[in-house]
Amino acid sequence: MIFVNPIARSNTDIPNLAVGYAATMLAAERIVDYNTMPEPADRVYEKETDVLGISFQSRSLSHAEEIREKYQAKFPNSRIRSITTALDVQCCYPFLAWPETLIVDTPFSDAYPFPNYELFDSFPVFQKHWSSGEWHYPLMTSMGCPFLCTYCQSRNRKWYPRSPQNCVDEIKQARERWQIRSFTVMDDCFNLKKDRAIEFCRKVKDLGIEWYCTNGLRADRMDEELAREMAASGCTTVGFGIESADPAVLKAITKGETIEQIESAVCMAKKHFASVSGYFIIGLPGSSYEADMRSIKWGLEQGIYMSFSFYVPFKGTTQNDRIFYGDAARPAGNIYPAELQQKVYDFTRGLSWGGVNRSISRVIGNRFAILGKFGLRLCIKYCLLDIRKSANKLRRILS
């Protein structure tokens, strides 16, 4: 068996966890990882295999279908299957399946083996960046989320945790085997259970390793005790899924949080962590151009980094459907006009340093845009974040 991870056009620094688990559990020969290493483009067609398994999300469907068609034409006797695992959502994007699929139905738990990333043909790229600290080793300590956010593919789902000790054992192995210098939590809802999160922090503390929590951190379940434990254990960066600063929008999407709770969590986090960020979605139900621009101003007032994507309702699994949201999505225009949604997004490009199509010139251009739209005070406030981020990056390099 050979497995394939098609191009998703974003998050090249994060491996496909589902295919990593599946390949390890099913003893696949290797994983052809186009998302992190797109070239050479024809390497999957060099060898015939009995089963070609393809793990694809909504954002990589078109490339998966292209690979299936070309491989079947060259090797008609090979069976081509999608891959289905209990881990069916990653980074908010759902994994899709064809009628013919390889199924790994073991529930997500300590029974899952640690992914063998050496199966990825892109592994040397990952190891280089993990050992330098530029990329962070991905760790999923739990999956699923019982909350009802209408825009999210992980909503209203049973929560499956791993034990904190099992998670720590994986970090230890990754550090010994691949010399990782940091890790990032990939959960849908990391702090659902406060006691478990604190136990995790206390076990991680003994490792003396830096870590990040920008996935699955709910503002309404963040308190001073948990923030202290996270920071003491080596967590330096946190991020909240804020979506919108408009109370009416938060209610419309059944976020389950108030803007007051979010502001309180952000204020608390800024006291404990070197970097605090917020993730927003343009064009959510109940929103408007004015409301989305107010969200930008709110984030500037809070003094946090911001990342924006478009809301595109999930409609299906064919190539022509609009499928979910993200960097590669275009505005749906079903809430307010698409050209106004694009205008909001154009203003936000360069707000954060990471992501797709970011550059120093775009970051600088954005700071001038902030100056023109919101004035000198907020521009200076955001530029101070840049200085702080640069100092933290220099600290990591020197260490």
Half-sphere exposure (Cβ direction) of 121: Cα atoms closer than 13 Å: 20
Domain definitions of the chain by residue range = 2-104, 136-398
- CATH class for domain 136-398? alpha beta
Q: Which residues contact 356 (CB under 8 A, 6 or more apart)?
A: 9, 10, 327, 328
Number of residues assigned to the chain: 399
Question: What is the longest distance spanned by two Cα atoms in the chain?
Answer: 66
Q: What is the CA radius of gyration of the chain?
A: 21
Under DSSP, the state recorded for 143 is: E
Angle between helices 289-302 and 360-374 (to 10 degrees): 100
Residues 6 or more apart whose CB falls under 8 angstroms from that of 346 comprise: none
User: What are the per-10-residue average pLDDT scores of the chain (399 residues)?
Assistant: 90 94 97 97 97 92 94 98 95 89 95 97 98 95 94 90 98 98 97 98 97 95 98 97 97 96 97 95 94 97 92 57 52 87 92 67 92 96 89 76
Q: What are phi and psi of 334, to 5 degrees?
A: -90, -10
Other Cβ atoms within 10 Å of 338 Cβ, number: 15
Whether the CB-CB separation of 96 and 317 falls below 8 Å is answered with yes
State residue 320's pLDDT score.
Answer: 40
Q: What is the pLDDT of residue 323?
A: 45
